[in-house]
């Protein structure tokens, strides 16, 4: 089954385009119907050509890695009879030059904070194993060259 997204951008009437001073704001439309305002990152293309309040591709990559890891972690925890009440991750990505000298998302650090409840609580070793297995199963992580670290608390 293909996964689809539609990316829409239009030049504004008053933008010359060839002078490279055009808005990078655009729209992402996902197969479920959700629409998001998107733009280049203001760290990459300065304001006002970027839209600060929009999602940028770099943030989306970090969010995709975090979301995939979380989805696998929750599934694996449930299979081991650990009840997760809350999962929160303040993930961070680093954009820098890779070994080939190209600008890339070279590292993403996941920082999940998880609250468990119930009579069966994971040990520190079981928690590490859950994160390791979630990382191994995450198809987004398996699709990128980015170094991914998990610092669980």
Query: Are 67 and 122 contained in the same domain?
Result: yes
Put simply, whether the predicted model's pTM sits higher than 0.85 gets the answer: yes
CATH number of the structural domain spanning residue 134: 3.30.300.20
pLDDT digit string (tens) for the chain, length 153 residues: 789 999 999 999 989 999 999 999 999 999 999 999 999 999 999 999 999 999 999 999 999 999 999 999 999 999 999 999 999 999 999 999 999 999 999 999 999 999 999 999 999 999 999 999 999 999 999 999 999 999 998
* Structural domain that includes position 98: 57-150
Query: Are 103 and 146 contained in the same domain?
Result: yes
Query: Are 32 and 74 contained in the same domain?
Result: no
Query: Are 24 and 75 contained in the same domain?
Result: no
CB 69 within 8 A of CB 141: yes
Query: Are 20 and 70 contained in the same domain?
Result: no
Residues 6+ apart with CB under 8 A from 96: 103, 104, 106, 107
DSSP state of 52: T
Query: Are 4 and 63 contained in the same domain?
Result: no
Phi, psi torsion values for 15, nearest 5 degrees: -95, 130
Residues 6+ apart with CB under 8 A from 120: 81, 82, 83
Query: Are 34 and 69 contained in the same domain?
Result: no
Query: Are 1 and 70 contained in the same domain?
Result: no
Total domain count, the chain = 2
Query: Are 75 and 109 contained in the same domain?
Result: yes
The Cα–Cα gap between 150 and 76 comes to 16
Q: Which of 32, 55, 78 is the last residue of a domain?
A: 55
């Amino acid at each position: 089954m293909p996964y689809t997204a539609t990316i829409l951008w239009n030049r504004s009437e008053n933008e010359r385009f060839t002078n490279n001073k055009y808005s990078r704001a655009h729209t992402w439309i996902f197969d479920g119907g959700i629409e998001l305002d998107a733009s280049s990152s203001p760290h990459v293309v300065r304001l006002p050509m970027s839209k600060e309040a929009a999602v940028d591709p770099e943030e989306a990559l970090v969010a995709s890695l975090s979301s995939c890891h979380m989805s696998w972690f929750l599934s694996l925890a449930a299979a081991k009879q650990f009840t997760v009440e809350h999962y929160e991750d303040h993930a961070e990505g680093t954009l820098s030059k890779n070994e080939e000298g190209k600008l890339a998302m070279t590292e993403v650090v996941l920082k999940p904070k998880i609250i468990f409840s119930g009579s069966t609580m994971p040990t520190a070793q079981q928690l590490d194993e859950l994160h390791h297995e979630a990382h191994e199963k995450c198809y987004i992580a398996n699709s990128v060259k980015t170094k991914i670290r998990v610092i669980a608390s």
